[in-house]
Amino acid sequence: MPNPFTLTDAADLIDVSIQDIFLKGSVKNTFYDKYYNVETGVRDYYTKDSSLSGLGFAGRIVENAAVTAQSPVQGFDKTYTQVQFGVLLSFTKPMWFFGIQKRNLERITTEARQAVEDKREQLCADRLDQSYNASYTVSDISGNYVATTTGCDGLSMISASHTREDGGTAWSNRITDGSTVNMDKLIVHVKSLLNNMGTLTAFA
């Protein structure tokens, strides 16, 4: 357990020569939900999803000929595991009574919640920064651990080797010159993306 916040840690709070003390806490802005799919209210330690494809392109039927059959394909499975994050904010009684309450700074307790939300923003951004890698090391106040970023096909998010569910060849590509992404080439490649049945996903 960390040492509690004491009067000696913030002597200005009991300094009568200082009239105003402002709390410069975290600014609440969320960005992760703009580029991640967010699901709330999950009560299971593990969640798992899969998918089922549609059909590919239809084929021509000549007179008195059999219609060519197709079947959907099952998608990959992905398991998600809940992870808990937290931080402890403790005070001595004199600090709370003579420092925090005296200066009307009780809202500092909300910083514990904000610290968790800030960590979520950082972790989500880190996963995008590390999207070329299958795993990376995360460092925080509790130590280091390895975060795995592979998807249900066992590959990193940005990979030229993503396999299709129907067993077809890789459907993805990486467009970069080593430092920047060429948007013109990106648009060309987006138009050539194949779905899990091997047919084009865009035609424009």
Residue type, 17: S
Dist CA 68 CA 70 (whole Å): 7
Q: Is the entire prediction scored with pTM above 0.75? A: no
Q: State the pLDDT at residue 47.
A: 93
pLDDT for 147-175, tens place per residue?
999 988 888 988 888 888 888 777 777 76
Distance CA 155, CA 116 (A): 29
For residue 189, which phi and psi values (nearest 5 degrees)? -75, -35
